[in-house]
Structure 1
């Protein structure tokens, strides 16, 4: 699981690259001076201090935050110690979910290049867990749960437009729903409720403080990740 910490530069790279407006798509350099940001020259931009090597401007997520999130995720996995194959699936999901949280908070989007690998890898690793002892039933349930939760999110987008969940949320729901559904339908409901309650409480606090309006669009991806992780901690 120390690999989760070892890949924090990759997580930072994902945040720096994809935390850009939809019309830009992705960035390859510092916004201030244009110095390239790449994996063959990762420091200091992709390290904990997260500063451009050319001008010193902050790049991507605030200093130390990605690393702190990775440490917290690692601690949760090590303390709860789920079975090895399920642990691998959760670690894979978190490796993508952590940068997705930072991207969604920054630009309110969940890019396909992170959501789809998260879904595919989680689904395949849960398949390994099924083959190595858990059996086919939880894997089929996980598959149905992931697709069902994604469909629910997508339908709200079609019916409610900007007031519903985004299509990116639906794509993230494939992997989150699969992880939750592996342990049962009730945990899927618990995870979704936790996400909704967390997002509602934060929205209420922002409204009361005047930092948001009723018409404001708030990202849901971070709450889906937290709700999923919180529900999983109940069964590990």
Structure 2
């Protein structure tokens, strides 16, 4: 797997998750330790475009931050004062964080481009939760995701003295972002949003690091999942042909799916 760089381990050894009780416990603890940060980011930026970031409970105005009150950033997602629901639905952030940690365990050991994947997940998960809530991908989440991913992939290329994967990652990220941005300019609301184009900077880089065929695979998975969900919503009469679905979640799932399939 190109994401992990050279390794002397037996084939497939690093692709197996740690199934010991200690390994399972560490996975759960890692997910729980980062979930408050992810929940806070999703809560802050899940506001309409042009609106100031949320700093407290919409119902009573109680400030929300890492110093408290903790119920707002706990899995229950409730205000510590009035008990109104704030942020993403209960448990969703924690499940996403646990899935991200499991993904990192499945992909391989720390090293190579794995830090870039961890960085990307840390910013993209809350960005996708915001996209699901208000149909926007905020720059404060997508741009750091792209910048950190490119820098960490560059560091991995320097460490292994192999510039080709990083150059391919840069080309893939730039090309995919331009493709999405062009659709916005040509098709307006019928095309992708500029937020999708900015997320594509990091998506294309991660997939491009592994190879051009992985870029194609990731896009096929993203568009395929989007089509399946659209058909399902139309059949259930929960959407119309004019309904605009957020594409960020499908980019996340397509990227993760492609990386797992080539691991």
Interval containing the TM-score (normalised by the shorter chain): over 0.9
Match of 1:139 in 2: 166
Q: CA RMSD in A?
A: 1.4
Matched, 1:7 2:37: no
What is the number of residues matched between the two proteins?
236
Contact kept, 8 Å, 2:69 with 2:80, in 1: the verdict is no
Which among 200, 203, 216 is matched to residue 230 of structure 2?
A: 203
Match of 1:151 in 2: 178
Contact kept, 8 Å, 1:9 with 1:46, in 2: the verdict is yes
Structure possessing the higher radius of gyration over alpha carbons: 2
Which among 204, 217, 227 is matched to residue 177 of structure 1?
A: 204
Which among 70, 75, 78 is matched to residue 43 of structure 1?
A: 70
Residues 10-64 of structure 1 show CA distances to partners (whole Å, capped at 9, x for unaligned) of 1100110011111324211111111111122250101111110110011101111
Which among 60, 82, 92 is matched to residue 55 of structure 1?
A: 82
CA distance in 2, matches of 1:27, 1:227: 30
Residues 70-124 of structure 1 show CA distances to partners (whole Å, capped at 9, x for unaligned) of 1111112112315613111101000011111110000000000000000011111
Question: 2:71 is paired with a residue of what secondary structure?
Answer: coil
- The unaligned stretches of length 5 or more in structure 1 are none
Change (3 A) 1:175 1:42: farther
CA distance in 1, matches of 2:85, 2:202: 31
Shift of 1:231: 0.4
Match of 1:186 in 2: 213
